[in-house]
């Protein structure tokens, strides 16, 4: 299968966000795609040691803080967080997140 519908169930709920992971394992092991929703933002500051995070803003607006600098984002923007950068975000947002390589808990450092 090469076309995927948005998963009907949440895959996770944590730190102020909910996510639905698209089941791509049968096609690729190099990228993970997640639908993210938040009413207020990510409640922690994190650093992903090995993965690049690309957030496409589907709805809403907010502020991404990347390496202590604030960036306003809104519908239609692509926010790129390279591996190794500390970041968080605030706002009411719906986003499509592409993670390369896929997220692994042991690669993530929670800073606050």
Mean pLDDT on 46-56: 97
| Percent of the chain whose predicted confidence (pLDDT) is above 90 | 96
The CA–CA distances, whole Å, from 31 to 22, 23, 108 equal 10, 11, 16
| pLDDT band with cut points at 50, 70 and 90 for residue 61 | very high
Query: pTM value?
Result: 0.94
CATH number of 12-105: 2.60.120.10
Q: Could you state, in order of their start, the residue ranges of all structural domains in the chain?
A: 12-105
The CA–CA distances, whole Å, from 37 to 27, 59, 85, 89, 93 equal 25, 9, 22, 12, 6
pLDDT (0 to 100) of residue 105: 87
* Sign of the torsion formed by the C-alpha atoms of 69, 75, 78 and 84: positive
| pLDDT band with cut points at 50, 70 and 90 for residue 84 | very high
pLDDT (0 to 100) of residue 1: 79
pLDDT (0 to 100) of residue 30: 96
pLDDT > 90? residue 48 = yes
| Percent of the chain whose predicted confidence (pLDDT) is above 70 | 100
């Amino acid at each position: 299968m090469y076309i995927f519908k948005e998963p009907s169930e949440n895959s996770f709920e944590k730190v102020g966000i909910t996510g639905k992971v698209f089941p791509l394992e049968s096609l690729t092991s190099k990228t993970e795609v997640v639908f993210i929703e938040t009413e207020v933002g990510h409640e922690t500051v994190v650093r992903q040691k090995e993965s690049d995070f690309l957030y496409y803003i589907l709805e809403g607006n907010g502020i991404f803080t990347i390496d202590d600098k604030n960036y306003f984002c809104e519908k239609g923007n692509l926010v790129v967080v390279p591996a190794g950068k500390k970041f968080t975000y605030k706002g009411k947002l719906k986003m499509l997140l592409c993670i390369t390589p896929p997220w692994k808990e042991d690669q993530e450092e929670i800073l606050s």
